Structure 1
Amino acid sequence: MTRPAVLFVCVHNAGRSQMAAAFLAAVAGDRIEVLSAGSQPGATVNPVAVAAMAEVGIDIAAAQPKILTPDAVQASDVVITMGCGDECPYFPGKRYEDWVLDDPAGQDLSFVRRVRDDISTRVDALVDSLIPKEDAS
């Protein structure tokens, strides 16, 4: 089986999609290709998201927001959107999921922790759906 590619997309690629990509990379290792992008990427990753992820041992301080391109969508098997609406290109044959998550932009650490934990739970379920159980260990 080829390695599936997952693209996480949110507007600024500065919070939710960065946290999701980091969780997926941490959980799946090299078994899943992980990408993230934004329809209107910010200049930097949200420092509160960086702090929230550091609490669970994942460093996203060096991550950089990236622009969403049709090529990134086309190269992905699964596209997870997080509030970018109709700005996400659609290609037939891709698996699309829309994760309704609160935007951590401008929020305090306790708020961002709740978003982080919600993302972690969803990422675990995503991995379970993409990696057969015998390959999960």
Structure 2
Amino acid sequence: MRILLAIVLNACALGAAALLLPGIGVQGVGDEIGMTLLAYLFVGAVFGIINAVIKPVLSLLAMPITCLTLGLFAVVINAAMLMLTAWVTSFFPMSFVVDSFFWDAILGAVIVAVVSALLNRFLMTPAARPA
């Protein structure tokens, strides 16, 4: 149940980033709202897998530069995870699109982090939160 909730929260955060930034969105879904929602759920699942598998390794390797920049390099790592999600989903009919790294991915990473933090804070029940 926690995994499904995490996928939905990721999809909401990515949808918020797509709503606020014109350079982020999904492609190949047409105009149907149901297909768009399914596409965001799919992208949310891929984003969650990438964050669970690749992000810890990358964060560990980038720890020295993250310390030097007082944590600001974590935003660049999150933007790289967005770009990697866009690349992985480009092999599927429904793909996540990020136009440019510098503005779209960086601002998208900030938006996704803020929306995810807010949704996790208010929607996760105490029993569903990790100990």
Which band: TM-score by shorter chain?
Answer: 0.3 to 0.5
Whose Rg is larger?
2
Q: More strand per residue: 1 or 2?
A: 1
1 or 2 for the larger relative contact order (CA 8 Å, sep ≥6)?
Answer: 2
Structure having the larger proportion of residues in helix: 2
TM-score when scaled to structure 2?
0.35
Which TM-score applies when normalising by structure 1?
Answer: 0.34
